[in-house]
Structure 1
Amino acid sequence: MYVGQFQAASANVIGQSYAPKLSNGANICLKDIMRDMREKHGVEQLYKKVWLCNMHGQLYKLYKLAAYSYRTEVCDKYLTDISNIHRRAFDYLINVGVEIWSLAYCLEKRYGFMTINIAEAINSAAKEARKLPITSLDNEGKVWTVDLELRTCTCRKFDLDMLPCAHAITVCRHTRVPKERLCSDYFTTQWLQTAYTPSIHLVPHHSSWILPEHVSSCVVHPSEGRRQSGRPKKIRIRYSLEGYETRVCTNCEESGHNRITCTKPRQARSVSKSSSSSVGQKTSIP
């Protein structure tokens, strides 16, 4: 069972299997792990894939959870997990400054949750939750306090995003307060129009530009490009809902090969009935 599991294992499974060996900043060479997997289990994997799936994958997930958490205690929890896995990565994040990359510790309002393609954002957010069954949650027994006048909530989503969170929307439903009034003025069309109110100065023709000597004397050449080897692809890229035509062998009528590469005995081609009936017959002309 153990050998069979690793025979069909992907790089992600191998990385998770050897994660305890690389914990606590242990100095273990992944090349030795790859040689061990090849000799003992017969698994051949790329060094880069295993490294990304093991170290980079775990650290990136924890860093992303810590960076986008709204509460400081949640951010500290993920930082502790990062410290247990890779101490040097934890020291680097602390030395850089938690307030620079963390949403919970940031001293200013951050901008980064808006998108021009909301459908793709929803699909990526619900990608992991699609396979889970629908069930009712009690939010782990936690109680959130909402202040509609100050536009705050103890979950801090209302404070940082400046948009009503799920708890604030629930309060609006019970108190019959329009939730649109709780949105920040930055999201209104009036502020959008105000952003484009100042006049935009057009760039004149390049003949009227006044350039310094060190700029005008500098000649920037295009980068040397190299044509990609091989024949250029001319086949149209199909979209996901468009099917592909399956070609079959004319000899054995199986897919995966053609008549030339077919290993089965060659069969005589069947002649159509109309053509075979006309062979050897005389045509009488009245």
Structure 2
Amino acid sequence: MQALCSLHEKIREYLEEEVGVEYWSRAHFNGIRYNTMTTNNAESLNSLLRSAREFPILALIEYIREKMQSWFHDRRIDAKKCTSYLPPPMEEKMYDRYNESKGFEVKALSLDEMQKQAYSEYIYPLSNEVDWKIPDSVRSRKVIRPLTRRGSGRPPKKKETISRRGAQVSIKKDGGVMMYCFCHS
């Protein structure tokens, strides 16, 4: 952000106040970031099992069973709260839109009137790029590439510790050998 602001003093004001941080920053995005439309099931499960991937097979299966059981329990509770066929976020959205539209006036239009309104404004197609007249103030602006770059290869694994139900499972790589420590408190 500082690099952007150093190029022009009004960038911060524009991005934060006019556009809104939630529209350009993933960290401040208000919506659901990951759902069935953006990631597939295998990627979601890989992400979930990243911490348990190095467990012995029985511990891994127990971890998956616990996770699935908690998901089904949480969703069953949410489903019992539903009062209509729509999920609660959609029901709320429909209710809000209905309240916003209460004051609208609806007019009936004939097909001729609709076509006249649809084509009432001019449409200007773009000419050939070599014929464009670009002002020098725009042409002289410097466009820079992003300052960050993702490293190549897979990121290194970290030591992971997972606590659940009073047991602590610690994973360490010692000279290429995986060591598991199950400690009960």
**TM-score of the two chains, using structure 2 as the length reference:** 0.25
- Greater strand share, structure number: 2
Q: Which has the higher contact order (CA 8 A, sep 6+)?
A: 2
